[in-house]
Structure formats: structure tokens, C-alpha cells
């Protein structure tokens, strides 16, 4: 059994050997976890982020661990920025096998200070989570179409599934975010149909509840919106959410999301497209 397990570990370590991958929003949180897992599985990774220093830090961390990565400053809300990132990635890597569209926001600046959404929240979430997704795909997919090969993995959210109602503890400021993630899932379905003739697979990973800087902001918003949570720390809000709403009773990690992305990016998923996979401990089942 030991020999079998060792062989499986070696196989996973080389699961993405020879693959060139781009990950947006990879400077922190889920994006960093994805980049680290993919690099650990053998992929060369272009670490893209609006924050150039964060991207560089993650790239250096990967390289120090024996992987191969480089940083790209990029703004998904700008098509010209993403076109430049694509050109830089192609110059450095030669080609791109996998595009992981991860960059996302919860709301506009200051959303944690208000219980209700503003027009700016709709603008921010759709500029990044929807239009930013389209800009990313439009920048990187043409080279995949030329090669008639590639994988696109979109990071959506189980928040883009059916609404869970007031009991989920979501203030209305979360509605624009949830709607934007539902749009990302629908975009995945349409894109899978459009790119299938080019042998390009498109799938979504829908994360559940992870302790990241983004979720900390969600918790701050919940405390502000719900008088019953007065005095609770963001982490206490997070732990209570896990306990009450996740059947497996534990939080997910960026690495958990990265492992699912690695599967979709690998040859093991060659016959899977147009799917949205919940990685959420059973909190949402559909």
C-alpha cells in the first residue's frame, strides 16, 4: 500500500508537468492558493494581480520552493491591460495551456460600512466579476483557439447558486456579488458551448466559506447589518457560519480550491466541460 500511495503522490506532483498556466487575482487569498497548488503539480505559472508587489511575492515564493513562476501586473477591468498581460505571458511561456479567471471583489470601496448595496457595488462587482472575466477570456483564449487546445477555469462562488434567504446572514450589500457570480456560472455554460469546437474545456469552481481577507470584510459587514452579532469579532462570525451552515463542519482553504482547479486543468478532466463544481463542505448542494 505504501508503494501505491507513493506512486499516486508522484503522479499528482507531475499532474501538470509541462503545462503553462495563468492565474488572475493570484496575489493573495484563493488566487495565491491556486497558484501554489498548480506550481506544486508541475505547472509554470504566470501570477497576475492588480497589486504588482503581491504578485511578485507569490512568484518568488513559488520559485524559492523549486517551481517556476513570474509576476504580471494586470487589471481585469481593462481590456488593454489584459491584452498586454496575454502578450507578456506568451512571450515568457511560448503558449498558455490553462487560464484561471479568479480575480474578484465583494463590493465597492466602503461596502463593509453599509448594510445595503449602492449603485457603486453593482458597478464594481460587474466590472470585475463579470466584465473582468470576459476581458480575461477574450485576451487569453485566442491563442488557445489557434492551437485548438486549452482549459479555462472560472472561479465563481456557491453564492451564485440559489439564494439561501435571510437565515444565511447575508445583508443586501451581498446581492450584487451573488448576482455577479451567478452570471459567471452562466457565462461558463455559454463559453463551454462556444469553445468546444476548438477542443477547449471551460468549467467553474464554486468556493464555499474560506477565511480570507475578502471573507473578513464580509464578516465586518454582517456585524454592522445584524444587531444580534454586536460585539462579535470577524473570526467569530466566520466560525459561527461554518458551524451552522456547513454539513462537514469545517472551513475550506485556498489550497482546497486549488486542488479542484488542478483537476479541471489536467488531462483527467478532458471529457468535462460546462460544469460548475461546489467546493463548500456541502453548504449548498446543487
Cα–Cα dist 160/44, whole Å: 30
Active site residue 177: yes
First CA to last CA distance, the chain: 35
Q: Which of 117, 177, 187, 198 is catalytic?
A: 177
Distance of CA 212 to the CA centre of its chain: 12
Concatenated DSSP letters for 7-39?
HHHHHHHTTTTT-EEEETTTTSHHHHHHHHHHH
Question: SS3 of 32, please?
Answer: helix
Least Cα distance to 270 among 206, 204, 205, 199 occurs for 199
Active site residues: 177
Amino acid at each position: 500500500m505504501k508503494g501505491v500511495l507513493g506512486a499516486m503522490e508522484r503522479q499528482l506532483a507531475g499532474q501538470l508537468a509541462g503545462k503553462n498556466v495563468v492565474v488572475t487575482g493570484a496575489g493573495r487569498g484563493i488566487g495565491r492558493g491556486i497558484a501554489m497548488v498548480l506550481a506544486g503539480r508541475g505547472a509554470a505559472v504566470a501570477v497576475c494581480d492588480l497589486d504588482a508587489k503581491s504578485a511578485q511575492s507569490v512568484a518568488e515564493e513559488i520559485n524559492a520552493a523549486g517551481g517556476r513562476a513570474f509576476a504580471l501586473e494586470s487589471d481585469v477591468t481593462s481590456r488593454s491591460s489584459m491584452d498586454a498581460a496575454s502578450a507578456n505571458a506568451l512571450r515568457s511561456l511560448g503558449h498558455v495551456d490553462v487560464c484561471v479567471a479568479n480575480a474578484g471583489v465583494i463590493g465597492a470601496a466602503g461596502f463593509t460600512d453599509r448594510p445595503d448595496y449602492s449603485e457603486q457595488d453593482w458597478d464594481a462587482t460587474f466590472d470585475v466579476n463579470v466584465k473582468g472575466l470576459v476581458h480575461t477570456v477574450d485576451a487569453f483564449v485566442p491563442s488557445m483557439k489557434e492551437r485548438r487546445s486549452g482549459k479555462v477555469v472560472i472561479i465563481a462562488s456557491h453564492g451564485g447558486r440559489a439564494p439561501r434567504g435571510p437565515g444565511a446572514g447575508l445583508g443586501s450589500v451581498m446581492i450584487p456579488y451573488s448576482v455577479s457570480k451567478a452570471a459567471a456560472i452562466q457565462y461558463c455554460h455559454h463559453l463551454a458551448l462556444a469553445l468546444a469546437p476548438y477542443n477547449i474545456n471551460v468549467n467553474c469552481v464554486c468556493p464555499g466559506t474560506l477565511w480570507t481577507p475578502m471573507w473578513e470584510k464580509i464578516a465586518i459587514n454582517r456585524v454592522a447589518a445584524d444587531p444580534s452579532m454586536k460585539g462579535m469579532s470577524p473570526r467569530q462570525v466566520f466560525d459561527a457560519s461554518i458551524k451552522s451552515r456547513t454539513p462537514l463542519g469545517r472551513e475550506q482553504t485556498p489550497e482546497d480550491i486549488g486542488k479542484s482547479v488542478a483537476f479541471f486543468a489536467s488531462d483527467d478532466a478532458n471529457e468535462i466541460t460546462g460544469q460548475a463544481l461546489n467546493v463548500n463542505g456541502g453548504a449548498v448542494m446543487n
